[in-house]
Amino acid sequence: MKLFDVYPLFNVNITKGRGCKVWDDKGQEYLDLYGGHAVISIGHSHPHYINKVNEQLSKLGFYSNSVVNTLQVELAKRLGPLCGYDDYQLFLINSGAEANENALKLASFKTGNTRVLSCEKAFHGRTSLAVEVTNNPKIIAPINDNHHVRFLPLNDLEPWVRELSKGGVSAVILECIQGVGGIQMATPEFAQGLAYACQRYGAVLICDEIQCGYGRSGKFFAHQWLGIRPDIITVAKGIANGFPMGAVLISPDFEPVYGQLGTTFGGNHLACAAALAVLDVMEDEKLIDNAHEVGTYLMEQLKAISNPRIREVRGRGLMIGIDLECPHKEVRQPLIYEQHCFTGCAGTNILRLLPPLCLSKAEADEFIEKFKKVI
């Protein structure tokens, strides 16, 4: 058997990581400003994380959601006050796509409606409903194209209000900082107007915080910069620092019903141990504050570079986009193969920085020097 070849790969075999550095099988060190696609929140191989996961694995790795799991209860109690949603309810799953699937399902259960409004350039996952609300026809199979969704421009409120006023809208789903869409940021005026319109017309507002949340923006959630309080929040990626996990934070306006949602692996003992370890480190090392401070510093340093190949630097915290005049591969490939530095990308010309939240100013300076050599 061979692998189903769907990933265009860089010819690098990463075998070890620590903090914001990774090493390949030849011993070459790399600076990681990609974080495995925003997944590594507290840094690679954090000692506390390793200890807590190993400790749990030595006792029990998994049992199903047919029995009490006090680690789930502990995670909910810890997460609520830390993220500012102590009155919300927590449903645990395995990935971001699953989080959005369940959020959209809950919205439809509550409203009885089937229409969804999503953003142009949105990305919400690759499974059934999640891919249907993703604005990329290339990855939507005919079976997923069920005509539930209308894509509308970010930060242009009027068409959203017009669509909502027609009725029949179950949910509005929004990335407050678009990731795949190129680090495009919702404005407070747009977000607040949209939240009001959802309330007025009876639609559920879902904030997809899978990439931009969990401290990456310099607040726990990116929407907290915008002065809104969504009905449902979806998270994944950084929640467990690489262990597969996702979650849905659900308003108290939603009444749970036995059997309405379910999962085999979601919220298992090992995943909860990983997620609790992440919260420990985020609090102890003040990583949300660090993301804000170092992210602001890094953007200032990037904006200070005078180079015609740089059109714009935008973002918040440690979610940064460098909009280039040239295709991003002309910069990204030499960064990897010559400067030994990982970054992400978006579209054809945007370099995307998604480092672990523990990135230091010294490591930010290191990236700037590497970037200057290839730009």
> Per-residue confidence of the chain (375 residues) as pLDDT tens digits?
999 999 999 999 999 999 999 999 999 999 999 999 999 999 999 999 999 999 999 999 999 999 999 999 999 999 999 999 999 999 999 999 999 999 999 999 999 999 999 999 999 999 999 999 999 999 999 999 999 999 999 999 999 999 999 999 999 999 999 999 999 999 999 999 999 999 999 999 999 999 999 999 999 999 999 999 999 999 999 999 999 999 999 999 999 999 999 999 999 999 999 999 999 999 999 999 999 999 999 999 999 999 999 999 999 999 999 999 999 999 999 999 999 999 999 999 999 999 999 999 999 999 999 999 999
Residues 72, 224, 156: CA angle, nearest 5 degrees: 125
Q: Quick one: pLDDT at residue 359?
A: 98
Sign of CA dihedral 19, 20, 22, 28: negative
Tell me the HSE value of 267 on the side-chain side, using a 13 A CA sphere. 23
Beta carbons of 82 and 283 less than 8 angstroms apart: yes
pLDDT of 255: 97
Q: Report H helices in the chain.
A: 35-38, 47-59, 70-83, 96-111, 128-132, 157-165, 188-201, 269-284, 287-303, 329-337, 361-374
Which pLDDT score is estimated for 355? Answer: 98
Measure the CA angle with vertex 291, ends 285 and 296; round to 5°. 140
* Per-residue model confidence (pLDDT) at position 119: 98
Give, in order, the Cα–Cα distances in Å from 186 to each of 31, 162, 194. Answer: 30, 19, 11
* Token digits of residue 145: 């194209």
Q: Is the whole-model pTM more than 0.85?
A: yes
- β-pair type (344-346, 350-353): antiparallel
Query: What pLDDT sits at residue 85?
Result: 98
Q: What is the pLDDT of residue 373?
A: 97
Q: What is the pLDDT of residue 77?
A: 98
